[in-house]
Amino acid sequence: MLSASGLLAGKVVVVSGVGPALGRSIALQSAAAGASVVLAARTRERLESVATEIRDRGGIALAVPTDLTDVDSIEALAQKALDEFGAVDALVNNAFVQPAQVPLLDADLTSIQSGIDINLIAALNVTRALVPALTASQGSIVMVTSMVLRNQLPGFGAYRIMKAGLLAMARSLSIDLGPKGIRVNSVAPGYIWADSVKNFFDKKAAAAGVDPKVIYDEIAAGTDLRRLPEPDDIANAVVFLLSDSARAIAGQCLDVNCGHTHH
């Protein structure tokens, strides 16, 4: 059974970009906090797996396979959420792709454009589709950005542009939607200790001929807490920002990186 905190009791939360790591955690933690969760991503099997996991824990979930680059598919997502639950109280824009880690001037322009379509334009279109429902519910939105906003790691130029644009979008939407009663905020995770980062560290360790724990310890040493955040750490921050406990927080970006950067 879900151990509900009650922070999102009775609310309906739409999560776009439900993958095996952070998206899954946001969905599970939202359900644990009492929300009915609408899961959106391209892959039906993944969505159904997370939806089943939520239901097995006593929660409520609706899986809606969605092409987040297609406006008609996004409109269908919004309509299915309303048909099923009658309202939408919160939206989490988590869908993302990460371009190849190369110097910005060497980045493939087609890859940059496709990344912008998912990391930026999709979030705008999903938000646009759900604004009427969120206005009716006096709801909230969270955009998932990244620590690349703050750091100086090379090779992340294209991704940094996309996530900086998403942060600017969140701030602009807060200005536009705040008078309608809709709160818009962001979270900026650092390295998230899940499969993609673990695989990245494994490759770095293999290239250096060391144990992966050495790479982890080197990176974690740059954080105040000497560890890397796990998916649930970021998801818990998202749940808080969606909840009425954060009802006076708007237009803000919360860094969730164990103190890897300060803001």
Mind telling me the catalytic residues?
Answer: 159
Joined tokens for residue 243 = 């909840």
Joined tokens for residue 232 = 């649930």
Other beta carbons within 10 angstroms of residue 143's beta carbon come to 25
What residue type is assigned to position 244 of the chain? D
Q: Provide the β-strand partners of residue 140.
A: 90, 183
DSSP, collapsed to helix, strand or coil, labels residue 227 as: coil
Joined tokens for residue 213 = 């724990």
Joined tokens for residue 3 = 């151990």
Beta strand pairing call for 183-189 and 60-65: unpaired
SS3 readout for 17-71: CCCCCHHHHHHHHHHHCCCEEEEEECCHHHHHHHHHHHHHCCCEEEEEECCCCCH
Q: What is the DSSP letter of 6?
A: S
Cα dihedral: 150, 152, 155, 158 (round 10):
40
